[in-house]
Amino acid sequence: MRNFTIRQIIAGVAILLLLIVFPLVVSQSFNVHVMILVFMFGMLGVAWNIMGGYAGMFSFGQAAFFGIGAYTSSYLLIAYGINPWIGLVAGGCAAAVVAAVIGYPCSNLRGHYFAIASIAFAEIVRIVFNNWQMVGAAEGLSLPMQNESFANFLFNSSKLPYYYIMLAFLLVSLAVSYFIATSKMGYYFRAIRESHKIAEVMGVNVVLYRLMAIMISAFLSAMAGTFYAQYILYIDPGSVMLLATSVQIVLISMLGGAGSIMGPVIGAAILIPASEYTRVALGYKGTGMDMLIYGLLITLISMYYPEGVWKLFSRLGRKLK
């Protein structure tokens, strides 16, 4: 991979500054909420991209990892009073362990087979949580009210701290993604994506590196899950483990450009505001109009922009140079 040019560094810093100033200028809390969702889905997309974009494992079950993260930290907090920041790490580890357990037997599955196996896996996880009395079954978990503080990962009076925490999470996941893309591991991932057999012949431990991709991806998704739980303060299988969420994560990455570092973030920045604002404009009538447009959008994107918007950007960028 390339080093950054000065122009790119300036652009990056400028965008970051804009994002830091944004919630201070835009006071409307719904807009801040939409941006928080953009960051969160951006992070989920980045996590998907590590296994889907780099290593070619198209997971349609990311919501399971997201949900495991949300449930682990919430349960630890409710049952044992364990601090959510510790729960964050515990949730990530739990998701990574589950990912390893399920990923190992799936290590020779490719393409469609992997995609459908991931759906089956996520559905199992959802059904189990939906019936598991210990974690509230279908009723879900409500997080207890505590004093607001950074240490408690809880803020009642303002969305701003959540905004900055999520932005920081997104930057961390981007750093991880960048590190992977530029390291040896990233080359191994891409070799596996192009061909299992050739990668194996070249001496890449396919099973091991596929597992690593899944586990890293699961860990990051679970972090976003813990964030969601601390932000919304209520979780149930119907909100954190939906197939629709998993599909949305794939779609964001594809729209932005699977396999590129920034692609998923761009995808989230386009799709999340589009779906949130159409929902507000059309959805409250309960006619499914917002989802109808969403479905149409998915179909059109995969027909006409299957490579993602990122390709478009980089083509434009090359022309400008």
Partner 1 sequence: MPDQLLQQLADGLLIGLMYSLVAIGLTLIWGVMNIVNFAHGEFLMLGMFTSFWLFTLFGIDPIFSIPICFVGMFVMGTLIYRFIVSKVMKGPVLAQLVVTFGVSIFISNLAVYFWTPDFRLLPATMLQGTWQIGGVDLSIPKVAASFGSVIASVSMFFFLKRTKTGKAILATEMDREAALLMGINTERINSLSFGIGAALVGVAGAFLSTYYYIYPQVGGLFGTIAFCVVALGGFGSIEGAFIAGILVGLAQTLGGFYFDPSYKYAIVFMIYLITIWIRPQGLLGW
Between 33 and 110, CB nearer to partner 1: 110
Supply 163's token pair: 């905004």
CB of 66 to partner 1, least distance (A): 18
Please give the Cα distance from 278 to 40 (Å, whole number): 19
Between 111 and 317, CB nearer to partner 1: 111
CB of 203 to partner 1, least distance (A): 24
CB of 94 to partner 1, least distance (A): 19
CB of 119 to partner 1, least distance (A): 6
DSSP 260-301: SSSHHHHHHHHHHHHHHHHHHHHGGG-SSHHHHHHHHHHHHH
Between 89 and 128, CB nearer to partner 1: 128
Please give the Cα distance from 49 to 252 (Å, whole number): 10
Pick from 180, 251, 187, 240: nearest CA to 216 = 180
Compute φ and ψ for 154, nearest 5 degrees: -145, 130
CB of 296 to partner 1, least distance (A): 5
Handedness of CA 118, 122, 127, 132 (dihedral sign): positive
Q: Are 222 and 92 in contact (CB under 8 A)?
A: yes
Between 114 and 163, CB nearer to partner 1: 114
Binding residues for partner 1, rule: CB under 8 A, are 52, 58, 60, 102, 105-106, 108-109, 111-113, 115-117, 119-121, 123-124, 127-128, 130-131, 243, 247, 250-251, 254, 258, 286-289, 291-292, 294-303, 306-307
Between 254 and 268, CB nearer to partner 1: 254
